[in-house]
Amino acid sequence: MKNFIIKLNIFLLIFTFNALINISSAQDRIVIAGGSLTEIVFALGEGDKVVGVDKTSTYPQSVTTLPQIGYWKLLNIEGILSLNPTLFITLSDAEPNNIISQVTQAKVDVLSLKRVPGTLELLYENIEKIANKLQKPDQGQQLINHIKDNLSQIQQKIDMQPNKAKVLFLMSMGGTNSVAGKNTTADALITIAGGENLAKHNSYKSYTAESIIAMNPDVIVLNSHSIQQLGGSDKIDTIPGITETAAFKNHRIITIDDGYLFGIGPRVDEVAKILYDGFYLQ
């Protein structure tokens, strides 16, 4: 009888402990500023706890139905707190500059993560930090290993290419052509996919038609928003100078979704394959 009572008490203790964990988990409310960070949370299987995101969070499709807290460079403390978050995951350079301290002062747990440099090492670091915060360390390591394995396969193919594709990433908006240079997500993705970014300047810079013609890229990458701005893919030839490039003449124009450009995220292997195929298999 005594052993039975002891076993019963142990069972009740374990049951109560698990119940408390489940209650705590059910009450978790995560708000995120940063598309790549949102993708990491969902990739770790914790998307059901996300109650609000910023405008750069567009993947997976289900996040588009969540309440928005604005653009990560123009956040509003009232909008964030109105969602009653228990955890705010944000890029460390989110703005206004005092937004992180404001959320912290409101007694909300904050996980602030670096956005730059846009490297795979930083991606893996951010995955690990988010996974640990969400008590999913094993899932975090599995995600990292999955990405590394896929990128390793792509790298093997890159190593077999005798020459690197010469690439320009072009963002066309309102008649102005901006080209992605160093310290941009586009530049990092081009490099990861085995291409050489012809633009050596920092950040984004407007290019004239003459500049694009002079650089004469083998491949031009455009984002989907630029295609929409142009009025469709059949309007690419309206970009000044583009028809004189080898990329246009050889039909080597690649379009990628804007979602890939909001920081190096867990789908980096997916976009790297798209770009690699465009660089070398077309």
pLDDT in tens, 98-153: 999 999 999 999 999 999 888 999 999 999 999 999 999 999 999 999 999 999 99
Q: How far apart are CA 278 and CA 254, in angstroms?
A: 6
Asked if residue 16 has pLDDT above 60, the reply is no
Q: Could you give the CA distance from residue 104 to residue 106 in angstroms, rounded to a whole number?
A: 5
Residue 21 has pLDDT above 90, yes or no: no
Taking only the tens place, the pLDDT of each residue in 238-279 is: 999 999 999 999 999 999 999 999 899 999 999 999 999 999
Quote the pLDDT of residue 197.
98
Structure tokens at 120: 């795979």
Give residue for tokens 């790297």: 272
Q: What is the pLDDT of residue 52?
A: 98
Dihedral (Cα; 108, 114, 119, 121), 10-degree rounding:
-70
Identify which of 203, 265, 255 has the alpha carbon closest to the alpha carbon of residue 247. 255
DSSP state of 202: B
> How does pLDDT run across 146-179, given as a tens digit for each residue?
999 999 999 999 999 999 999 999 998 767 889 9
pLDDT at 20 over 90: no
Global confidence as pTM: 0.86
- For 60-197, where are the alpha helices, taking DSSP H only? 77-81, 99-105, 120-133, 137-159, 185-192
Query: What phi and psi, each to the nearest 5 degrees, are found at residue 225?
Result: -65, -35
Which range has the worst mean pLDDT, 22-31, 118-127, 198-207?
22-31
Q: What are the E-state strand segments in the chain?
A: 30-33, 50-53, 87-91, 109-113, 165-173, 176-180, 195-197, 204-206, 219-223, 253-256
pLDDT, average across residues 204-220? 95
pLDDT of residue 1: 54
Q: Could you read off the pLDDT of 256-267 as tens digits, one per residue?
A: 999 999 899 999
Tokens of 134: 């969400």
State residue 239's pLDDT score. Answer: 92
Distances (CA, A) of 58 to 62, 66, 138, 221: 8, 10, 26, 20
Domains along the sequence of the chain with CATH: 11-136 (3.40.50.1980), 162-280 (3.40.50.1980)
Q: Give the separation between CA 213 and CA 199, rounded to whole angstroms.
A: 13
Q: What is the mean pLDDT of the chain?
A: 91
Rg of the chain (C-alpha set): 23
The per-residue pLDDT for range 116-128, each reduced to its tens digit, is 888 999 999 999 9
Do residues 51 and 36 lie in contact, with contact meaning Cβ atoms separated by under 8 Å? no
